[in-house]
């Protein structure tokens, strides 16, 4: 298991500079966001010249583009925006294939009109679930056509907000193109942090065989769920990394939710935990 990082951790569209800083830190795996190359996360069109440049820079700096960020609100209450996201996702699948990126990460979304990252009680409605399945059916066709795996994760603010719902979601399709992005910090609701071992083990029992990518951020204890850099919260990384090893996960452990200044500290923390495991 190698340590990776979100390319968007650097708020820059100077791709060569981003890749140079990654390699200076000893990082060679990234969940790639097209904004790092001056493109929208969800483009409307394909710019082959820009994509060729991305491939050239990745080859020059020996960067593995392990996943591509493809976040749009899959249950957006604004149907026009949802349709726009679906159309852009088809373009993104073509881009992933062109760049030889094996998977695209998703946001299952929220009924919240302000943000797909904020909770809304309608996320638990039958109608929202039906919309999620409809959207997924459509984008899965693009994924299958271009041989791209889709990765979803539990998010406390999204419609897929628990491992049980994630399992139900996967079982609704039983597709080899729909898998899980495992993020230990995202598995908890506010009242579950004290049951950390049980929550982590239960999540891996449900989802461990379907992991396509693993994330590394940390969990801050408080009345509400909040996130911090790996090593600065209460997530039990000993258990988390042990469980990743137990299911024979061989991909990168991708850091995010941290500042550039926090990267070296989190790398050292994760290296120690991985060595101990």
SS3 content of the chain, % helix, strand, coil (to 5): 50, 15, 35
Query: Which residues have C-beta within 8 Å of that of residue 96, sequence separation ≥ 6?
Result: 68, 102, 103, 104, 146, 148
CA neighbours within 13 Å on the CB side: how many for 248? 2
Q: Give CA–CA dist 84/81, Å, rounded.
A: 5
What's the domain count of the chain?
1
pLDDT of residue 149: 98
What's the mean pLDDT in 83-112?
A: 97
- Residues 28 and 92: their CA atoms lie apart, in Å, by 22
pLDDT at 156 over 90: no
Enclosing domain of residue 245: 3-276
User: In CATH, what number is assigned to the domain containing residue 137?
Assistant: 3.20.20.150
pTM of the model: 0.95
Q: What does the pLDDT look like over 50-73, one tens digit per residue?
A: 999 999 999 999 999 999 999 999
- Does 247 have pLDDT greater than 80? yes
DSSP 60-82: HTT-EEEEEE----TT-SSHHHH
CA–CA dist 44, 79 (Å, integer): 17
Spatial CA neighbour of 189 closest among 217, 159, 165, 224: 224
Locate 27 and state its tokens. 């990082």
| DSSP state for residue 245 in the 8-state scheme | H
Give the confidence band of 23 by pLDDT, cuts at 50, 70, 90.
very high
Give pLDDT, residue 276: 83
- Of 263, 166, 269, 264, residue with least CA distance to 212: 166
Question: Which pLDDT score is estimated for 277?
Answer: 75
Helix (H) or strand (E) holding 213: strand 211-216
Among 86-100, 114-128, 165-179, 238-252, where is mean pLDDT lowest? 114-128
pLDDT of residue 207: 98
Would you state the torsion angle of the CA atoms of residues 261, 71, 64, 95, taken in this order, to the nearest 10 degrees? -140
């Amino acid at each position: 298991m190698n340590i990776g990082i979100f390319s968007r951790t650097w708020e820059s569209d100077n791709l060569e500079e981003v890749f140079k800083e990654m390699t200076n830190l000893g990082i060679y795996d990234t969940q790639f966001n097209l904004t790092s190359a001056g493109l929208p996360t969800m483009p409307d069109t394909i710019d082959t010249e820009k994509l060729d440049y991305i491939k050239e820079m990745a080859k020059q700096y020996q960067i593995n583009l392990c996943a591509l960020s493809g976040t749009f609100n899959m249950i957006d209450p604004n149907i026009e925006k949802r349709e726009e996201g679906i159309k852009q996702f088809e373009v993104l699948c073509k881009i992933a294939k062109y760049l030889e990126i094996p998977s695209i990460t998703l946001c299952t979304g929220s009924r919240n009109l302000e943000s797909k990252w904020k909770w809304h009680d309608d996320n638990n409605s039958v109608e929202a679930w039906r919309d999620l399945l409809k959207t997924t059916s459509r984008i899965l066709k693009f994924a299958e056509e271009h041989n791209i795996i889709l990765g979803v994760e539990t998010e406390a603010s999204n419609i897929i907000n628990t491992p049980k719902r994630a399992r139900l979601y996967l079982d609704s399709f039983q597709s080899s193109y729909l898998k899980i992005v495992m993020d230990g910090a995202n598995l908890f609701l506010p009242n579950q942090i004290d049951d950390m071992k049980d929550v982590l083990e239960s999540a891996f029992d449900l989802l461990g065989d379907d992991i396509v990518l693993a994330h590394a951020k940390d969990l801050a204890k408080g009345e509400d769920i909040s996130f911090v850099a790996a090593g600065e919260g209460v997530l039990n990384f000993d258990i988390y990394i042990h469980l990743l090893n137990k299911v024979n996960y061989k991909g990168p452990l991708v850091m995010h939710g941290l500042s550039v200044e926090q990267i070296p500290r989190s790398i050292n923390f994760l290296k120690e935990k991985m060595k101990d495991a």
